[in-house]
Amino acid sequence: MSSILKPLLLQSFRTGGLYLLIIALSLAISATTALKFSNDQVKQAVSLQAAEMLAADLVLSDQEPIAQQWTAQAQQDGLQQSKVTLFSSMARTDQNFVMVNVKAIDHKFPLRGDLKIDPVQQTLRRGEVWLSPRARDLLKVKLNDLVFIADGQFKFTGLIQHDSNQELGFSGFSPTVMINQQDVAKTNAIQTGSRIEYRLLMAGNPEQTKTFSQQFKHLQQPNSDNESSENQATLRLRDATQNNARLMKPIENLDTFLQLANILTILLCGIAIALTSQRYVQQNQDHIALIRCLGASKWQILRAYIGLLSIVSLISIGTGTLIGIGLGYGLLQLMLQLMPQLNIGFSAMHLIAGPLPIAIFTSVVVLFGFILPSVWELLNTPPIRVIRQEIRSKRSLSLTFLAGISSLIIFSLILSENIPLSGMMLAAILLLSLLLYGIVWSLLKFLKTLRNRLSAYVRLPHQTALQITALALGISLITVLSVLRVDLLERWQQQLPEGTPNQFVYGLPPFEMPQLKQQLKQNEWKSTPLYPNIRGRLIAKNDQPFTADQIKQNNALRRELNLTQAQSFPEDNQIITGITRFNQVNQVSVESKLAQELGIKIGDQLTFQLPEGPLSARVVNLRTVEWESFSPNFFFIFSPSTMDENAGSYLGSFYVPLQDKTKLIAVIQQFSNTVFIDVSLILDEVKRLVGVLVQIITILAVLVGVSGVLVLIACLNLLMDERRREVALLRSFGISKRKLKNMLMFEVGLIGLLSGVVACLFAEVISAIASYKMNIAIQWHIEIWLILPVLMMLICAMIGRYRLSYLCDIPPLQSLRELNQSS
């Protein structure tokens, strides 16, 4: 084998056929490694970030003190624990008073994240209180002043500079005060009917938290005793991702984007490998025929090629590993520069032991899937080819293409963590490739039959159609990431536009609603409508109570909901079925996902339990709700006059510029019975996170773009080899260099134009599938239809003129001699 391998290796490197193959395979390994590594690191980092905002990995909450069995279970599972009690109360001094959120903590709080107090203190002792800046400003106190919380007297000993435990809702509103857990009783603030939340915070490694979660689900079974069932209904276990939907939703989109980038990069590298293998076969058929004439058997040649591919694989693995580690480290450093608070680190061993083996396995299999069929074709090269050239059959081209694509699909699915996305994407790409190849081939064949001037540029329709399809696929895959990047940015900007509400108002008494509207208008603070808010439970559908299993499986049935009524719906809600406006009382609009979970349809009669008694309303439409937006949202919106607005309170949101913070303090003091929730910290976290995501997806788009360039180079190399002999012959017949250059430029430009049109079709279909999976509105990208075909025509024409036209400058005799020597 060594006697064949050495000349085969020298011949392969001399013709240059292996260089692009090594580059494509190295890029496939490095890109897959870096993408998977960054994907894992981003998800881990954001999970930790979300846990810091929860102050724990798991939180068990209830309206009653947490049962002893759960603390015992957490201890048994090896979890750290901390107890927190949350309730609202009145804080006052001799001159000022304000409604505050009281957070009673123990010395272990927080289990995740930071709690920074000024002056620095380690523990909150009994009889002391820590105040948030807003609480201090409203109470107008200084350190060591006395503050009364309900009936309890406390000494102000610390200012809360930073509390990573930021949540949106009743338990997260500001102003906030912290007291020692053992001082709750002395406030006498907890009375019958008080709204209070008891929490058990837990932290541990993923296996410990998973064990506790499984035990909780197993032990929480429906109980036949009504009272026990009611108590169970208030018990809730949350993890970090469930508690920070606004923070995690962009990450879900990024995860899908990472998966898509990974798939597209492998596809692009696979296409480059496939095209390069075609060129390699064409370059080496004569050489193999000569070796066959000298007596070498098929199996000797096969073993030599396996050795050759092994050398190529080792070179590519070494190169790809180094580049992949460098790219992974670069992405990690980017995240740390943009979000220094993220708790992540770089480990080369983790990279080597994690995604790299999968990347190597997949990339090597893709290589062998594309090359081995071509090698098998080389093995069947007849010795007579030494004296007679033969055109490669369509059948061999098709078999090689199908073998490569099949291996690519199988191992892309194995690599992917998102099987539905990968399956849909690969199926769409394969079907589109076959369909568009057939259309382009038919068009070119028709042009060739016309026998006009244009027909002269169509030589082998099946081969040109394959090149156009491959080039179009490469261009479209780059375009997909570009348009998805823009669509994602638009999506995030729509969620976080300039002036996004950073203050929530909750519990506003009806008689104070006109005054607050006047204040918002006077201060020119942009606001959403103020919605009446009445608490109630959904108890029946069509006069049939919900089953115990339904109640257990859906949290909306286990708790009181915020109900409202309005003539119109929030701006970001979209009606997907039913009437668009209410036309009578006792009508209700339902959030579409909840309706699907509970089997609610248009025309159903829903029954709610309100403080003043039961209320029935008929479903008239279903609508989508943007829960990630910083605006009031509701599962159920009733038609006007269905409920008594004075039976509850009002809620809404508004935006306060940074320079108006002092004005906000005055407004809060004026409405002392109303809760004002400051979400600016959460908003800042989301904005910071989105900024990182923008940088990451830009880098990924560039990475995929490099893969696309490989496809373009591979296509042009094939064209160059096919035209070399033809140009030499035409020059020997006396055709001018100028005419040949124009002919080559026109031909490659035509291929570019057709590729651009086909690429637009590819891009629209693939981006629509990806948008659907990322819950982004599917859009028609007119700009790519206007730009891409013309741009590809110009690029290919220019490259064709300056990359291929050098053949026209070679003396015909020299070119023919080189061709004969290579043959």
Cα separation, 466 vs 668, in Å, equals: 69
pLDDT at 740: 74
Over 80: is that where the pLDDT of 706 sits?
no
Cα separation, 563 vs 576, in Å, equals: 20
Q: DSSP class of residue 131? A: E
Helix and strand numbers (H, E) in the chain are 24, 21
Q: Picking from 80-84, 87-91, 157-161, 219-223, which range would have the lowest pLDDT averaged per residue?
A: 219-223
The pLDDT tens digits for 487-524 are 776 766 666 667 778 888 888 899 899 999 999 999 98
- Cross-strand partners of 203: 80
Q: Letter for the amino acid at 275?
A: L
Q: Give the pLDDT band (50/70/90) at residue 241.
A: low
> Beta strand pairing status for 97-105 and 176-180?
parallel
Over 90: is that where the pLDDT of 233 sits?
no
Q: DSSP class of residue 439? A: H
Q: Give the pLDDT band (50/70/90) at residue 665.
A: confident
The pLDDT tens digits for 433-445 are 888 888 888 888 8
Q: Give the pLDDT band (50/70/90) at residue 327.
A: confident
Cα separation, 503 vs 630, in Å, equals: 9
The pLDDT tens digits for 593-607 are 999 989 999 999 999
Cβ proximity of 808 and 740 under 8 Å: yes
Cα separation, 296 vs 311, in Å, equals: 21
pLDDT at 30: 77
Degrees, nearest 5: CA angle 562-563-569: 115
pLDDT at 539: 92
Over 80: is that where the pLDDT of 278 sits?
no
Degrees, nearest 5: CA angle 810-286-294: 135
| CB count in 10 Å sphere of residue 318 | 12
| CB count in 10 Å sphere of residue 298 | 14
Q: Picking from 79-83, 307-311, 518-522, 787-791, which range would have the lowest pLDDT averaged per residue?
A: 307-311
pLDDT at 640: 92
Average pLDDT over residues 217-242: 62
Cα separation, 642 vs 584, in Å, equals: 9
* Helix 461-495 and helix 782-799, axial crossing angle in degrees, nearest 10: 140
Alpha carbon separation from 423 to 417, 676, 767, 776 (Å, rounded): 11, 47, 14, 19
Q: Letter for the amino acid at 233?
A: A
Taking only Cα atoms into account, the Rg of the chain, rounded to an integer number of angstroms, comes to 34
Residue 76 exposure: Cα atoms within 13 Å on the Cβ side: 10
Q: DSSP class of residue 568? A: S
Average pLDDT over residues 153-176: 75
Average pLDDT over residues 453-481: 73
The pLDDT tens digits for 399-448 are 666 666 676 666 666 666 667 777 777 778 778 888 888 888 888 888 77
Over 50: is that where the pLDDT of 588 sits?
yes
Average pLDDT over residues 798-809: 69
Termini Cα distance of the chain? 23
Q: Give the pLDDT band (50/70/90) at residue 823.
A: very low
The pTM of the full predicted model, rounded to 2 decimals, is 0.63
Over 50: is that where the pLDDT of 280 sits?
yes
Average pLDDT over residues 799-823: 62
Cα separation, 645 vs 652, in Å, equals: 15
Cα separation, 559 vs 234, in Å, equals: 7
Over 70: is that where the pLDDT of 146 sits?
yes
The pLDDT tens digits for 605-662 are 999 999 888 999 999 999 998 776 767 889 999 999 999 888 888 989 899 888 887 8
And the tokens for 314?
Answer: 């080792």
| More confident of the two residues 71 and 28 | 71
Query: HEC profile for 353-366?
Result: HCHHHHHHHHHHHH
Q: DSSP class of residue 647? A: G
The pLDDT tens digits for 293-316 are 777 777 777 777 778 878 888 888
Q: DSSP class of residue 416? A: -
And the tokens for 381?
Answer: 């090269």
Q: Letter for the amino acid at 21?
A: L
Long-range contacts of 717-721 (CB under 8 A, 24+ apart): 717/20, 717/275, 717/276, 717/279, 718/275, 718/278, 718/279, 718/282, 718/467, 719/467, 719/748, 719/751, 719/800, 719/804, 720/803, 720/804, 720/807, 721/279, 721/282, 721/283
Cα separation, 578 vs 568, in Å, equals: 14
> Beta strand pairing status for 574-578 and 613-624?
antiparallel
